[in-house]
Amino acid sequence: MSVQACPACSAGPMAEAVAQAGKGDQKVMLSLPEIHCAGCISGVERSLMAMPGVRNARVNLTLKRATVDVDTGIQPADLATALTARGYTAHELDAGTLAATQTDNRGRELLMRLGVAGFAMMNVMLLSVAVWAGAADATRDMFHWISATIAIPTIAFSGQPFFRNALSALKAARLNMDVPISLAILLAAGMSIYETAMHGEHAYFDAALSLTFFLLAGRYLDHRTRSVARSAAEELAALEVPRALKITGDTETMTPIAELAVGDLVRVLPGGRVPVDGIITTGNSEIDRSLLTGESLPVFAGPDTMLSAGEVNLTGALTVRVTAAGEDSTLHRLTDLVAIAETTRNRYTSLADKAARIYAPLVHLLAFGAFLGWLIGTGDMRLSINIAVAVLIITCPCALGLAVPAVTTAASGRLFRQGMLIKNATALERLAEVDTVVFDKTGTLTQGRPQLVDPGSYAPDDLALAQALARGSSHPLAAALSEVVPDNLPYTSPTQVRQLSDSLLQHEIPGHGVQGDLNGQTLRLGRADWVGADPVVGTATYLDTGTHTVAFRFTDSLREGAAEAVAGLKAQGKTVILLSGDHPSAVADIAARTGIDAFEAQVLPDEKVAYINRLRDSGHKVLMVGDGLNDTAALAAAHASISPASALEATRVVSDIVLLGNTLTPLADAVLTAQSATRRIKENFAIAALYNSIAIPIALIGLATPLAAALAMSASSVSVSLNALRLR
């Protein structure tokens, strides 16, 4: 995906949805994360069109998404599966969640105003050049009048975003960047009309218009960056289709979670995420709670076990009675935390705001001072106003208005290509200030996927039996056992294991393990208490061969790039800390493998927050990287936060940056990019200040001409944009 996805683009599908409403009965959205070429586009479209019930299919390569019109009754999940089977990875997207992103009227409106301002600016500039070249008297007046007829309606239309913002700021008795902007545009236009009517020499129509144009361009860039981030974030959310299998009598129906009520029965299949808070009524299974607690060890769940939304069911099908759904569920209660996080974040003053706070009053004072000075000095009202307006125009925040958006657009584009999504406008600036990085373990530094420790240390017969039994289960530990192929043991060749496995007649006992039969001897692979083995520390599964028991120990496999990211951050002089809710031995193991010196285990969620608050109080700026619900509060408390795309939505919402890929490698680079982005922003301010320090004295002594204003404005805007582009 590229950052070139302009918001006007995402405005499209909605309009079409209306136009196309008659064609298909139902609209389905599919996410196609891997498509990249012309062949993919026609391949996906042809495959979709060939499927029964599909009326129309259109791929959007920019958004990596397909919109499909289908007859009612076609299951979107089936389309995604069929497409994946043909080699185009596809995921179903929840159309309800996406609908919000599709109407980007604001982006389209800004683009429209920008287009009008550009047209008017070019035409007026054409006429102005004629005036500067020496047109005089009646010709000059005519050119000015034509300029006025183009400029006035354009300013009335294109300047509205600024006027509106300025008005609301003034109503709240505040000064923002839009106040001097609006004042400069309006005064320039008003003064120019007066001058034209009085057959004056100087009219600033071109300046008023180019001011509008450049600032609208900055505004549009800003909007585009944010809407790309928003639409990608919402696409992540839409990937989790909020549906549950509701049991009514003998039938199971797919029901939106919002429609579930307390007391309803819901079926949770193995591998599925628990959609609601509830109590198990029937079924046994093991539950992966790592997203909520950080524990890597699955826990047993049987009738009367309480489940929370967000947990993953591993082995057996469960029937769950809903105790809290939707707004009341554990997941939703976290929105309160999110709200708190938003307010702490909002207290952060961005560089742009800081600049505006100094800039706005300064400009007004300067212009007013110039007016007073010249009025007292010469007594000429018209001249004094002209000079004051020239000061306002020349100090125009053109470069300031472009300084920040141009840099953030370039920086977020660069990070986006590396697989990082910047969600918050001030995230880059905060990330640049970070000096301490706190990692969560399970799901962040590790993949949450177990790996057998030292396969060579087990007796070949035991390993072969365990592997044969493991083939009868889809439990993550069983899957990890099956993956092991020790090359020094010819006995356990995959074929032999398969033959052994077929002869065992193994069957899974959900929540406990797998049982098999070898020559009348019962074999068991599963939990320690069920097998009758002494539990060992850490993640393990146990084999009972009838004669003895063996513990197979597992460790979590590291996420790709975890060690590189830690090394990169340490090389930048950052303190790296590992905080986990997991067992000390597991945490120490991961810390050693990633090269982290400081770690703490068995940390409860509120202790994580307290830890981060302590760091903050001692003057550190903390970056928190985490994925679990137990990290949510800590992510919110930290100065900046990053979460992987595999995190739950509630967690992603509180983080500033989402890692879209599966690797942590870009992490260290992201901090560097953020630092250079902040440096560019400051450089841009310096460039703007430099232009002003030359232009203001000229304006103050009354030597500014419309030509000088046009030159200063264009030169500063272009140099600021070019400086920002160095980031790409």
The answer to whether 554 and 453 have CB atoms below 8 angstroms apart is yes
CB atoms within 10 A of CB 507: 11
Provide the minimum distance between the beta carbon of 9 and another protein in the complex, in angstroms, as a whole number: 4
CB atoms within 10 A of CB 711: 13
Cα(337)–Cα(330) distance, integer angstroms: 12
Choices 2-10, 238-246, 410-418, 452-460 (CB under 8 A): range interacting with another protein: 2-10
Contact call for residue 112 and another protein (CB under 8 A) = yes
> Catalytic one among 94, 277, 288, 440?
440
Contact call for residue 71 and another protein (CB under 8 A) = no
Closer CB to another protein, residue 37 or residue 571? 37
CB atoms within 10 A of CB 499: 12
In sequence order, the 6+-apart residues with CB closer than 8 A to the CB of 286 are 298, 299, 300, 301, 314, 315, 475, 510, 511, 527
- Nearest-CA neighbor of 348 among 658, 639, 670, 679? 639
Closer CB to another protein, residue 130 or residue 694? 130
Contact call for residue 90 and another protein (CB under 8 A) = no
Choices 60-68, 203-211, 489-497, 555-563 (CB under 8 A): range interacting with another protein: 60-68
Sign of the C-alpha dihedral, residues 474, 475, 481, 483? positive
CB atoms within 10 A of CB 162: 26
Contact call for residue 621 and another protein (CB under 8 A) = no
Closer CB to another protein, residue 70 or residue 385? 70
Among 13, 405, 455, 526, binds another protein (CB under 8 A): 13
Structure tokens given for 594: 């990633």
Contact call for residue 125 and another protein (CB under 8 A) = no
Contact call for residue 163 and another protein (CB under 8 A) = no
Provide the minimum distance between the beta carbon of 45 and another protein in the complex, in angstroms, as a whole number: 8
Provide the minimum distance between the beta carbon of 48 and another protein in the complex, in angstroms, as a whole number: 13
Helices 351-378 and 666-700, packing angle to 10 deg: 0
Structure tokens given for 336: 């309160």
Write the binding mask 19 to 58 for another protein: x where contact by CB under 8 A, - elsewhere: xx----------------xx--xx-------------x-x
Query: CB-based burial of residue 252 (10 Å sphere; 0-12 exposed, 13-18 middle, 19+ buried)?
Result: middle
Tokens 């309606």 — which residue? Answer: 153
Contact call for residue 12 and another protein (CB under 8 A) = yes
Choices 8-16, 170-178, 400-408, 555-563 (CB under 8 A): range interacting with another protein: 8-16
Contact call for residue 60 and another protein (CB under 8 A) = yes
Contact call for residue 63 and another protein (CB under 8 A) = yes
Provide the minimum distance between the beta carbon of 115 and another protein in the complex, in angstroms, as a whole number: 5
Number of residues that bind another protein (CB under 8 A): 39
Q: Is 556 a catalytic residue?
A: no
Kindly list the distances between the CA atom of residue 497 and the CA atoms of 462, 501, 503, 508, 527, in Å, as whole numbers in the listed order.
Answer: 12, 6, 10, 17, 22
Contact call for residue 398 and another protein (CB under 8 A) = no
Residues β-bridged to residue 625: 439, 642
Contact call for residue 61 and another protein (CB under 8 A) = yes
Contact call for residue 543 and another protein (CB under 8 A) = no
The answer to whether 435 and 249 have CB atoms below 8 angstroms apart is no
Closer CB to another protein, residue 139 or residue 457? 139
Structure tokens given for 650: 């509630």
Kindly list the distances between the CA atom of residue 43 and the CA atoms of 1, 81, 494, in Å, as whole numbers in the listed order.
Answer: 18, 15, 36
Contact call for residue 397 and another protein (CB under 8 A) = no
> What is the SS3 assignment for 300?
strand
Choices 108-116, 244-252, 416-424, 504-512 (CB under 8 A): range interacting with another protein: 108-116
Contact call for residue 123 and another protein (CB under 8 A) = yes
Cα(581)–Cα(592) distance, integer angstroms: 17
Among 28, 29, 30, 67, binds another protein (CB under 8 A): 67
Contact call for residue 110 and another protein (CB under 8 A) = no
Q: What angle do CA 223, 228, 233 make, to 5 degrees?
A: 125
The answer to whether 434 and 574 have CB atoms below 8 angstroms apart is yes
In sequence order, the 6+-apart residues with CB closer than 8 A to the CB of 445 are 439, 558, 559, 562, 578, 590, 594, 664
Among 30, 59, 93, 274, binds another protein (CB under 8 A): 59
Contact call for residue 203 and another protein (CB under 8 A) = no
Among 115, 369, 494, 546, binds another protein (CB under 8 A): 115
Closer CB to another protein, residue 145 or residue 163? 145
Cα(540)–Cα(542) distance, integer angstroms: 7
| Residue ranges binding another protein (CB under 8 A) | 2, 4, 6, 8-13, 15-16, 19-20, 37-38, 41-42, 56, 58-63, 67, 69, 108, 111-112, 115-116, 119, 122-123, 126-127, 139, 146, 150
Q: Which residues are catalytic?
A: 440
